[in-house]
Amino acid sequence: MSMRLFLDNDSIFTPRESLALALKTGVEEAERRGRIIIEVHGDGRPLSDELLSEPPDNASGIQELRLISADPKLLVAETLMQAADSLRLARQHQSAASDKFLAGDVDSALDEVKNAFGVWQAVRDAFEKSAQVIGPHLFEVRFDVGNGETRVAREDVDALTSALREVRDAMEAQDWSALADAMEYGLSGVVDRWEVMLTAISRAIREGRAGGPTRA
C-alpha cells in the first residue's frame, strides 16, 4: 500500500513514496494556506525527532502521514496569553527572594532569583518567537493601558532589559539589600507592564487588530 499524505483532513497528492518529499509538500501546502505545521503523525503516532530532522527519501514503513496545522496568529495569541498567566510565578519568586534577602537567607533567596529568571527567560522567548511568526512589527504594536494612555511593546521589552540589568549588577556587587529592592519593586513593576502588554496584544491578534506597527 502506498503512503498517503494528509494535511489536517485533506488528502494531498505526493508523486512518490518519500517521507522527505511528503513533509516538504505538506509544509509548502500549509504555507500556501497561511498556516503552520504543529504536529506530524505517522500511522497515528507522533513522528520521531530523528525522522523529522533527517527524513529519508523513502516511506520509512509509514502508510499514512498526517500533518496537523494551525492558524499562526491564533497560535501566537494563545502563546502570549499563556506567557502572561505564567508571570504570576515570576511575581511569587521575586517577592520570596526579596523577603529572604531581607531575612539574611541569601542562598535560598538566590534560588528564588534563579527561578524568577527562568520564568522571565521563557516569557521573553515566547514573545520573541511570536515576533518571528507574526513579524518584527510585533515589537512596535501600540496598545491601550487605560486612562486614555497607550504604550508600544518595545517600551516594555526595554523596561525588562533594564530591570534585569539592575538585578545582575546588584548580584555581582553582592549588594543583597539593593537586590531585594530590585526584585520586589523594579521587577514587580515590569511584571505589571508585561501582563498588560501580553494580554492586550493577544486580544488584538485575535481581533485582527495587530497587523501593523501602529495598531493595537
Residue 116 CA to residue 96 CA, distance in Å, equals 10
pLDDT tens-digit readout, 177-216: 999 999 989 999 999 999 999 999 999 998 877 654 333 3
pLDDT at 1: 54
Question: Do both 42 and 114 map to the same domain?
Answer: no
Number of separate domains in the chain: 2
Question: Do both 65 and 77 map to the same domain?
Answer: no
Question: Do both 116 and 194 map to the same domain?
Answer: yes
Question: Do both 78 and 163 map to the same domain?
Answer: yes
What is the model's pTM?
A: 0.78
Q: The CATH number of the domain where 62 resides is what?
A: 3.10.20
- Cβ neighbourhood burial of 83 (10 Å; 0-12, 13-18, 19+): buried
pLDDT at 188: 92
Is 124 inside a domain boundary?
Answer: yes
**Which of 100, 89, 79, 68 has the alpha carbon at shortest distance from 202?**
79
- Which among 46, 70, 94 is the end of a domain? 70
pLDDT at 206: 87
In the chain the first and final C-alpha atoms are separated, in Å, by 52
Question: Do both 63 and 88 map to the same domain?
Answer: no
Question: Do both 42 and 23 map to the same domain?
Answer: yes
pLDDT tens-digit readout, 30-61: 999 999 999 999 999 999 999 999 999 999 89
Residue 184 CA to residue 180 CA, distance in Å, equals 6
pLDDT tens-digit readout, 81-135: 999 999 999 999 999 999 999 999 999 999 999 999 999 999 999 999 999 988 8
pLDDT at 212: 44
Contact 119, 93 (CB under 8 A): yes
Question: Do both 65 and 87 map to the same domain?
Answer: no
pLDDT at 197: 96
Q: For residue 116, what are the domain limits?
A: 73-206
Cα-based distances in Å from 73 to 29, 82, 144, 157, 205: 17, 14, 20, 20, 6
